[in-house]
Amino acid sequence: MLESIEVTKKFVGKTAVDSATFTLEPGHIYALLGPNGSGKTTWMKMVTGLIKPTSGYIMYDSKPIGIQSRKEIAYMATEPYFYDWMTIKDVGKYYEDFFEDFSLSRFNELISRMELSEKLKTKNLSSGMSAKLKVAVTMARNAKIYLLDEPLNGIDLIARDDVMKTMLESASPENILVISSHLVEELESVVDRAIFIKDSHFAGLFDLEELRQSEGMSIADKYREIFGHGGQINA
C-alpha cells in the first residue's frame, strides 16, 4: 500500500503539490490525470525519492519511503535520462547491476519485441525509440509499484499498442501501476481507478466501474467535469 499523507512540495515562487492525501492499493492500475503543470510528475518523483517533499509523508507498506522502497518502486520519467555514452545493452546491464528485481532476459525479450537493436547508442535514439526503451527497462523489473510518467508520449499508434501490452503484462494482484497521461481516452480501457490532480491539489480518486454505475460517467467525462470550464469537484 502506498500512502500520500498531506504531501506538499514548494519550489521558488510555486507550490507544485499541495497537501496531497490519498492511498493506492495493490491489484489496481491507476491513471494519474491532470493538465500540464498540475503536479503529477512532481508527486511521482517524490514517491521515487528524486524530490524531497517540503512537508508531509509518503509511506510504502507503513514505512517512510527511502532506500528500501527504491528497491521495489520502478519509475519511468517522461524525459530521456540515460547516460549518453550508453548503448541499449549498457542500459540493461546498468539496471541489472543495481536492481535485484531486474530480469535481463525479460529486457532482451522486450527490446526485441519493440524492434530495438541493443547496439544503438541512447543519444542517437528517436523520441519514439527512447520511449520504448524506457518502458522496456522499467517493465523488465518485477517491482511492487510502477510509476510511468507519460509512457505514451512521442510514440506512434502501433508502438503504442506494444507499450500498452507490455505495461499490462506486468500488472498483478500484488502490485500497483500508476500511469500518467494526457491521452485520457486511451487509458479508459486499461486502468480501473483514476486520480485527478488539479492546480497542485488532489481532486479525487475514482473507481471507474463505480463511476460508470453510479454516475454513468466515463473517465473522460469525469475529466471534462473536473478540468472543463467552471468544473467543480466533489472528491
Partner 1 sequence: MLNLLKYEFRKSGGIKAILLIITAVFQIVFMIGLFGDFEAPMAIGASSLMLIAWIGIGIIGIYSILTLHKDMNTKQGYMLFMIPKDSYRILGAKVIECGLSIWIMGAFFGALGLLDLSLLLKEFNEIDQIFDLLKMVIESVSELELNAGFAMTLVLFILTSWLFTVVNAYFAIVLSASFFNGKKFNWLISLAIFIAISLFISYIYNKLPIAEISAMKVSTNLLSIGFYLIPTVLLYFITAWIMDNKLSV
Residues that bind partner 1 (CB under 8 A): 11-13, 45, 48-52, 67-68, 70-71, 75, 77, 79-85, 94, 97-99
CB of 20 to partner 1, least distance (A): 16
| Least distance (Å) between residue 68 CB and partner 1 | 7
Give me the least distance between CB of 161 and partner 1, in Å please: 27
How far does Cα 84 stand from its chain's mean position? 23
Shortest CB 138 distance to partner 1, Å: 10
Please state whether beta strands 63-64 and 73-76 pair in parallel, antiparallel, or not at all (unpaired): unpaired
Report the relative pairing of strands 201-207 and 193-198 from DSSP bridges.
Answer: antiparallel
User: In terms of CB distance, is 57 or 98 closer to partner 1?
Assistant: 98
Nearer CB in complex with partner 1: 137/187: 137
Nearer to partner 1 by C-beta: 45 or 198?
Answer: 45
State the distance between the two ends of the chain, measured CA to CA, in whole angstroms: 21
Residue with cell 491507476: 30
C-alpha 21 chain-centroid distance: 17
Task: Give the residue with the Cβ less far from partner 1, 67 or 157.
Answer: 67
Run of H or E residues at 48: helix 40-48
d(CA 159, CA 208): 26
